[in-house]
Structure 1
Amino acid sequence: MPRNFFKNYHIRDTIHLAWPLVATQVGHILTGMVDNIFLGRLGSTEQAAGILSNNLFMLLMVFAIGFSYATTPLTTSAHEKNDLYRKASLFKNSLFLNFTVALVCFIFWFLGSGLLNYMKQPQEVVVMAVPYFNVIIFSILPVSLFFACKQYCEGLSNTRMALIISLTGNAINVVLNYLLIYGEFGFPELGYMGAAWASFYARLFMGAAFVILIFRSPVTRSINKVYTKVKVNWKDLADLWKIGFNTAMQFTFEVAAFVIAGLMAGAFGKEQIDAHGIALNIAAFTYMFASGISSAVTIRVGIYKAKGNWSEIKSASNAAFKLVLWVMGFFGASFIVFNKFLPMAFSTENNIIEMASGLLIIAAMFQLFDGMQVTIIGILRGLEDVRIPTLVTLIGYWIIALPLAYFLAFTLKMEITGIWIALLASLFSVALGLYWRLNYLIKHNLAK
């Protein structure tokens, strides 16, 4: 790392905003990781059932919480203009929109959970996955409240409240996993289903606690004065929908590609489901660092956009690029060095560990592209530019990744390795397309 790296105030300010966001994002992904680790100690079938259920839940969740990401740039703009009514209105409308979307998603999956039986997964895995999935989908409702509050606070440049609640929620999840799986200290022994209930209760706490804290914390309780005066209205809902729907689709295109890749892996057996899930858990963990940087630069770019300062937008973007490339480059190197050891935290079966370690080499290769694409999406979201990025993600993940994954896995008989090579190709193409879009916007606006 260059000696003067931290002398750049854009990098310092991005790190200052990003580290609580990173910790919050990591804490969020740890819920699934902790479940996976506990389930791996019970057996490969239990672990595969948890992975399958959590992957499908993640597809549901990212679509629902994608709408909450619209709250940040809009709140940032209102905050810069010191418009208290607008901030309160955005928060109320965000709560309404996010909870409504989450409720629709919940009803859809609750009625359709039986579709697991038709996804050509190992039958013994499906039998255990259906009841597990039927529990964790309830947590989409409190998760929607948590993210509505989180993105609102980020719009105020406050990233600490989400961190505190996230860390507390994860501690609750770890403790409840132990108590409910093994029936310790008088708790019922629920076996693998204990992990599902632990996740639900932890997320219920996180959603309820954040809503309460919004109105109690000295940082945010100013909206108390006007919250009852503002109404759910079509204008704010339309503004939130415009950015939120496109963001939700961006997330869904990417996560759906990985979920479908997991279903493809399941066609080769439960061990492949486990290996895919383990490698994906580890890659998702590092992705959260890039996602935190992305959220931080969304805030910073949103501030400069409100001021119409494109020179600073360019500088803030370049600083975020440098930061994410260093961070993800470090993780990529770590995957290569420790690829044989990292999967051991999730499984004790040698064939699963061996497959997962091979996938981590491919994951190491796409760390930089993954970091770049999510960072650029964050910048473009701060600029409220969402339609073309949505098209880029659609092409990259659905037009490139999925057909290529099928061809490599089934036609060329590369199986799960071919699936991950296709994911690598998609991340590269998405990063390239998004960079082209951002570069065009910056050049076009600086030339005015």
Structure 2
Amino acid sequence: MNWIAGYKQHYKALIFLGLPIVIGQVGVIILGFADTLMIGHHSTEELGAASFVNNVFTLCIIFSTGFSYGLTPIVGSLYGNRRFAEAGQALRCSLVANVLVALLLTFIMTVVYFNVERLGQPEELMPLIKPYYLVLLASLVFVMLFNGFKQFTDGITDTKTAMWILLGGNTLNIIGNYILINGKLGFPELGLLGAGISTLFSRIMMVVVFALIVLRGRRFIRYRIGFSRMGWSFPVFKKLNALGWPVGLQMGMETASFSLSAIMVGWLGTIALASHQIMLTISQFTFMMYYGMGAAVAVRVSNFKGQDDMENVRRSTFAGFHLIMAMEVVLMSIVFVMRGQVGGWFTDSAEASALVASLFFPFLIYQFGDGLQINFANALRGISDVKPMMVIAFISYFIISLPVGYFCGFVLGWGLVGVWMAFPFGLTSAGVMLWLRFRYKTRMR
């Protein structure tokens, strides 16, 4: 009973903070489902093209999200010490840093665009891949601006604002998808390109709404003093980069194990790519849910770190892990029951549906490792111990995961299932190393 009492307040606080983030992520999940459903039923070739492009851009978006997470421990610590104007100043510096990173990513992805034919993808998909790629490329800067506002509001424990904007933006995106993919309300039938245009428009609108709320809303007045009057702070900008790049690279390397796997999957053909995209949509469902709770852990940990309260840093972290494990049990039970029907939701191809069903075994295996690494990566981010995470990610995803995927998929000849067998090895090894690092950094002296 004493054990339960010691964690009770942390469970309640994490649920209060994390639930809006999880609900916002549910909106992202529903959007991913709707995208894949509409595109898959429009044509299997478009689903294969979407799989390749989305995986390439997911790498960018996850890296950019990780970079923006550098703001959370800064704002969380300032908020914990009631230094509100300085938190507003940090937001201003973060938006500048995020735009600069977005421009860098846009340049890199433009270079990739001009070399996309060399990546070994099916030739028949190129007319679909290229225009969709360009539209998503135009949206990167808006993703980064949204991330800056979101990490700021999360850091001051206002997780509901981002939730409502995400839900509204994703609803707008789904409606736009239906109209533009299928050619409704007098619009031309654009298929996959229509999905890209809808995504770009919704991302622009989410940034506009977020900016209006933060820069005009009454409850943000005490932060706007620092945003508008305290001027530029090079030390804050430097700290944002010192925290943001390691987190972005850590998350980017994790995502690269999936995105680079998509290139290997492309060597197996269009059906394999389509099946891979469907399964990634399912995996996004669990990942986003866990990450919503993990983000709450980072906020709570950064608040306690700002107060130099290491005991509650540890308690918040392990309370978050307990909650993520409980979420895994519930979500895996749902997914396991529905495993035989999932493929048919997204495509009319019987071959693709059968291939999807075969991927549930490696998918279920890696859930524990995914929850473990999400929780402790966020805890380390909350205490600003981010540089070792890059080394851990490199070992887990490049030294372990990708070679295992190639070996199982092509050397052993297991095909798509073999490529997916890499993920349990990479995610679990990352989770164990991050857990050990957290224990070392927060041990009682």
Q: Which residue of structure 2 lines up, in the alignment, with residue 284 of structure 1? A: 284
Choose 207-216 or 239-248, whichever is displaced more.
Answer: 207-216
The question of whether the paired residues in 2 share the 8 Å contact of 1:166 and 1:206 is answered with yes
Q: Does the alignment pair 1:105 with 2:105? A: yes
What amino acid is the match of 1:81?
N
SS in 1 for 2:230: coil
d(CA) in 2 for partners of 1:360, 1:136: 29
State the shift of 1:350 in Å: 1.1
Choose 350-359 or 92-101, whichever is displaced more.
Answer: 350-359
RMSD, aligned α-carbons: 1.6
SS in 1 for 2:185: helix
d(CA) in 1 for partners of 2:206, 2:277: 25
Choose 262-271 or 182-191, whichever is displaced more.
Answer: 182-191
Q: Which residue of structure 2 lines up, in the alignment, with residue 345 of structure 1? A: 345
Q: CA separation of 1:128/1:111 partners in 2, compared to 1, >3 Å: closer, same or farther?
A: same
Kindly report structure 1 stretches of 4+ aligned residues shifted beyond 4 Å.
Answer: 4-7
What amino acid is the match of 1:190?
L
- Listed one character per residue, the Cα deviations across residues 346-392 of structure 1 (whole Å, up to 9, x for unaligned) are 11211111111111221111112101111110101001010112211
Q: Which residue of structure 1 lines up, in the alignment, with residue 360 of structure 2? A: 360
SS in 2 for 1:318: helix
Q: Which residue of structure 1 lines up, in the alignment, with residue 177 of structure 2? A: 177
Q: Which residue of structure 1 lines up, in the alignment, with residue 425 of structure 2? A: 425
- Listed one character per residue, the Cα deviations across residues 242-283 of structure 1 (whole Å, up to 9, x for unaligned) are 110011001110111101111111101111111111111111
d(CA) in 2 for partners of 1:126, 1:32: 22
Runs of 5+ unmatched residues, structure 1? none
Choose 303-312 or 22-31, whichever is displaced more.
Answer: 22-31
What amino acid is the match of 1:382?
G
d(CA) in 2 for partners of 1:382, 1:176: 37
d(CA) in 2 for partners of 1:213, 1:421: 44
Q: CA separation of 1:300/1:328 partners in 2, compared to 1, >3 Å: closer, same or farther?
A: same
d(CA) in 1 for partners of 2:222, 2:377: 31
Matches for 1:69-218 after TM superposition, within 5 Å: 69-218=69-218
The question of whether the paired residues in 1 share the 8 Å contact of 2:85 and 2:224 is answered with no
State the shift of 1:57 in Å: 1.0
Matches for 1:354-393 after TM superposition, within 5 Å: 354-393=354-393
Choose 106-115 or 366-375, whichever is displaced more.
Answer: 106-115
The question of whether the paired residues in 2 share the 8 Å contact of 1:114 and 1:130 is answered with no
State the shift of 1:411 in Å: 0.9
- Counting aligned pairs with the same residue, the percent is 28
Choose 333-342 or 171-180, whichever is displaced more.
Answer: 333-342
The question of whether the paired residues in 1 share the 8 Å contact of 2:10 and 2:315 is answered with yes
SS in 1 for 2:188: coil
Q: Does the alignment pair 1:222 with 2:222? A: yes
What amino acid is the match of 2:375?
T
State the shift of 1:28 in Å: 2.9
The question of whether the paired residues in 1 share the 8 Å contact of 2:86 and 2:223 is answered with no
d(CA) in 2 for partners of 1:201, 1:30: 18
Q: Which residue of structure 2 lines up, in the alignment, with residue 239 of structure 1? A: 239
Matches for 1:251-262 after TM superposition, within 5 Å: 251-262=251-262
What amino acid is the match of 1:400?
I
Q: CA separation of 1:124/1:5 partners in 2, compared to 1, >3 Å: closer, same or farther?
A: farther
What amino acid is the match of 1:385?
D
> TM-score, normalization: structure 1?
0.95
The question of whether the paired residues in 1 share the 8 Å contact of 2:21 and 2:292 is answered with yes
Q: Which residue of structure 2 lines up, in the alignment, with residue 320 of structure 1? A: 320
What amino acid is the match of 1:352?
A
SS in 2 for 1:184: coil
The question of whether the paired residues in 2 share the 8 Å contact of 1:408 and 1:418 is answered with yes
Between Structure 1 and Structure 2, how many residues are aligned? 442
What amino acid is the match of 1:406?
Y
The question of whether the paired residues in 2 share the 8 Å contact of 1:380 and 1:438 is answered with yes
Choose 302-311 or 375-384, whichever is displaced more.
Answer: 302-311
d(CA) in 2 for partners of 1:422, 1:261: 9
d(CA) in 1 for partners of 2:87, 2:111: 36
State the shift of 1:6 in Å: 11
> TM-score, normalization: structure 2?
0.96
State the shift of 1:75 in Å: 0.4
The question of whether the paired residues in 2 share the 8 Å contact of 1:359 and 1:420 is answered with yes
Runs of 5+ unmatched residues, structure 2? none
Q: Does the alignment pair 1:293 with 2:293? A: yes
d(CA) in 2 for partners of 1:376, 1:338: 30
The question of whether the paired residues in 1 share the 8 Å contact of 2:139 and 2:200 is answered with yes
